Structure 1
Amino acid sequence: MFRGPLEDRVEIAELNGTYADGVVRKNAATWGTVWAENATWDFFGQMFEGRDAIVGFWEQAMSGLEAVSFHCVPCMIEVTGDTATSRVQTQEILHMKDGKTRVVGGLYEDELGKIDGKWQFTHRKFQIVAEYNPSGD
């Protein structure tokens, strides 16, 4: 469901656009802006705490990629005051530096906060929904 003020939901959708832009350009400065300072990221059951730890892990993970195409579509945003929850579907084409390619469909389950007037992720949980060529061969 999409609930809450339209302006807030648009800002959250745009936040996902900023996230995707950072991924495609492999730009940690852009990508890091979407996270609250004390955010948590549950990435396949591995928990990262704090923006610096999240961005550090992401930079390491991205270092093995030659290129990535990343699309995300919010499929639910519910805003209640200065907090929100959302679900975001993702599709990624990952071209590794070793020449292998994977295609991943994923789902984020999110918690967000409006901090100093700006929406940021306070918690994201990622899971793969479907994957083609998981070994990259």
Structure 2
Amino acid sequence: MAFTGPVEDRLAIRELMDTYADAICRVDAVDYAACWADEDAIWSIPWYPDIGTIHGKDAIMATWNEAMKTFAGDNFVMRPSSIVIEGDRAQVTARTSEVYDIGDTVFRDRGYYEDVCVKVAGRWYFKERTFHLKHRETSQAKPEDREFTS
């Protein structure tokens, strides 16, 4: 995969990814919302028909806030595998790994995002995110494994 464009911008996009992932782990809606562009942002999860494609930052946040009510002990990591910058727009691919509980089931998901990022007033944001699930494992959680710390 390619990494092109000013190194400062590539670092800023990487920090955007890190902020996004950390906000998920901490269930921090303020930091999560700060990662998204304006009201025409798009978040798409085509493999999950109940979510599908969400248009607009307010709708993205409403969906995210509702979804995060069911997650326990989420650990989400993301790393770039491609960042191609052209001016104030970037095409980005990010690989993800996530472990979380829903009820008594532990999910281990691996996938990737195809992103469009935009630079507004010197800061990078996610404009469009499309998630593709590549692998999922599930198992039953053991009671002794349910102790979580922040």
TM-score, scaled to structure 2: 0.86
CA distance in 2, matches of 1:18, 1:85: 18
Counterpart in the other structure of 1:59 = 65
Secondary structure of the corresponding residue to residue 58 of structure 1? helix
Offset from partner CA, 1:64-118 (integer Å, 9 cap, x none): 011100110100000011000100000000122x221010001000001101111
| Structure with greater strand share of residues | 1
Secondary structure of the corresponding residue to residue 35 of structure 1? coil
Matches within 5 A, 1:91-130: 91-96=97-102, 98-130=103-135
How many residues are paired up? Answer: 134
Counterpart in the other structure of 1:50 = 56
- Paired residue for 1:83, among 73, 81, 89? 89
Counterpart in the other structure of 2:146 = none
Which 5+ residue runs of structure 1 have no aligned equivalent? none
TM-score, scaled to structure 1: 0.94
TM superposition shift of 1:44: 2.0
Report runs of 4+ in structure 1 exceeding 6 Å deviation: none
CA distance in 2, matches of 1:99, 1:9: 39
Alpha-carbon RMSD: 1.1
Higher-Rg member (1/2): 2
Paired AA for residue 57 in structure 1: T
Matches within 5 A, 1:12-27: 12-27=13-28
CA distance in 1, matches of 2:34, 2:16: 9
Paired AA for residue 120 in structure 1: Y
- Identity, in percent, stands at 33
CA distance in 2, matches of 1:3, 1:52: 32
Which 5+ residue runs of structure 2 have no aligned equivalent? 141-150
TM superposition shift of 1:17: 0.4
TM superposition shift of 1:127: 1.0
Paired AA for residue 86 in structure 2: T
Q: Which moved more, 1:37-46 or 1:70-79?
A: 37-46
